[in-house]
Structure 1
């Protein structure tokens, strides 16, 4: 899933951000070509809901739940307009990272993270011990996604997801999420809680419905994974997401680094094809151990084991900030496949813990 600032204040953060998110710094996909809407784009919407209902029944959703979730739904042209307004990124000329950083790692977000760290001191040690993910990372995601729960979105999720599925450009994705939302309702999640971003992400961590079903956790033991209002559930659910994505306990996400001006960066260009978001990963170097980077004159600015594998990344080019990024950085990219997002989350986490 970030729901913050102008269109991002109402856009999917977190797990929906694989579709709409921060600048990629090498985007995975360019914006799709905008197609003109038909004269009456909503004409087939009621019939489409009938088809979705049939698929939901085939997947085990009962009729009462289907009726409850689709009753009175109407096509939402604003959601389609927001979807079609999403900008693409030019992989050959990515915008400056440090401009993005200054608007996302500011005093308010750092202070909010430190306050949240103090306010949740009683529950954090247990969550860290259970999942192996540092609290600073959980709080940085929470702060990035919804400003610690202050901006979560107020779109009706069923209406938004049905509209986006009916629109057809990503039908399989959004239809599957709409049915997952129905399964949430059948599991007992109140319909009144089903509001969030225009693209279907919701709650403090901005999960999509399918992610809620698979990864949301009951962190306070009351029998309900309340990622809307419970801090314990929110932090446990983000921790479960990181754990599921392969977070390695005890390893940093990355460290700032000093790089000699004479380093021949061309010899370290990544040549492996990344399985996902290849243009994001293409801006990283080849993998080397920290010890090997040190032998080349690269100096980590924070403690990191010499045996840790890392890539070199200079988001705005040489002499404008350099980082050694570990495998845990790629876990953050699972949340939102954007170098801008992942790097600013890591840096926010470090500021919160400072």
Structure 2
């Protein structure tokens, strides 16, 4: 049932991109965006992306100001644990997470057999990222990623994400019109494009990784991400325990890491 579609796609992404391959000089406002995109469109085919894919994927990209505002204003990660839990609705996530665990018992059992990751932390991530798929974001994904590739703050990092997004378009796993979170995160558990290439798993067996419409794909991919960041089957995942390092790989903010561990433990009854 579970197929992890990675390997070759990752190798291509790593091989085709280096900071030197960036399309043009970055910028800190909208003034140079169109020229940057035009240069990128000319360079991307030489870096392994078919010209038709580049044209189709980037036809409607625009400088995305909500993305820039979000990138400059991530204030909730500075809250205390209690403040963060209240702001993110931690108790509601725990309550609904228990119900979602019961109603999707077969799926979570299959994922745990395959990856060794129990339901709790997956439900914690799913609940905090999108309210269990209730809100996946309203920003044009390719505009968001392209804006951050152009923006000087993390241009090299997001140019790599942009190449990954184009590969997802090429293989039919990302629509050019897709919408998601402000930094270009995709689907029910909010993967950046390169992480879809690295850790994406076909949880429902249909031959594609659909992070938006398939909860099986999204949750299997999330479990595979945790395994890729050191998860060991059967070990604990609270702070100081072996699998907390995998949770740290999910998000750099310590308060977010603590929330995943706490919510997951409450759902798992640990």
TM-score, normalised to structure 1, is 0.64
Is the contact made by 2:94 and 2:266 (CA closer than 8 Å) also made in structure 1?
A: yes
The answer to which of 240-249 and 167-176 deviates more is 167-176
Q: Return the alpha-carbon distance in structure 2 between the equivalents of residues 213 and 175 of structure 1.
A: 15
Which residue does the alignment assign to 2:130?
A: 146
Pick from 27, 41, 54: which aligns with 1:66?
Answer: 54
Which 4+ runs in 1 deviate beyond 4 A? none
SS at match of 1:246: coil
Q: Is the 8 A contact 1:104 1:344 kept in 2?
A: no
CA distance in 2, matches of 1:135, 1:193: 32
The residue that corresponds to 2:184 in the other structure is 200
SS in 2 for 1:169: helix
Query: In structure 1, what is the equivalent of residue 69 of structure 2?
Result: 81
CA RMSD of aligned residues (A): 2.1
SS in 2 for 1:46: helix
Residue by residue over 1:201-224, the C-alpha shift from the partner in whole angstroms, topping out at 9 and shown as x without a partner, is 120110000001111110111111
Equivalent residues in 2 for 1:220-235 (5 A)? Answer: 220-235=204-219
**Aligned residue number for residue 47 of structure 1:** 35
- Cα offset, 1:160, TM superposition: 1.3
| Superposed displacement of residue 192, structure 1 | 5.4
Contact 1:52 1:175 (C-alpha < 8 Å) held by counterparts: no
Bigger CA radius of gyration:
1
Q: What is aligned with 2:20? A: none
Q: Give 1:349's aligned residue.
A: 264
Q: Structure 1: which 5+ residue stretches go unaligned? A: 1-36, 255-323
d(CA) in 1 for partners of 2:54, 2:152: 21
- Paired residue for 1:176, among 160, 174, 179? 160
Q: TM-score, normalising length from structure 2?
A: 0.83
Q: How many residues align?
A: 243
3-state SS, counterpart of residue 236 of structure 2: coil
Deviation at 1:67, TM superposition (A): 0.3
- 2:140 is aligned to 156
Match status 1:106 vs 2:94: no
1:56 to 30, 36, 44: 44
Q: Which moved more, 1:57-66 or 1:186-195?
A: 186-195
CA contact (8 A) 1:79 1:160 kept: yes
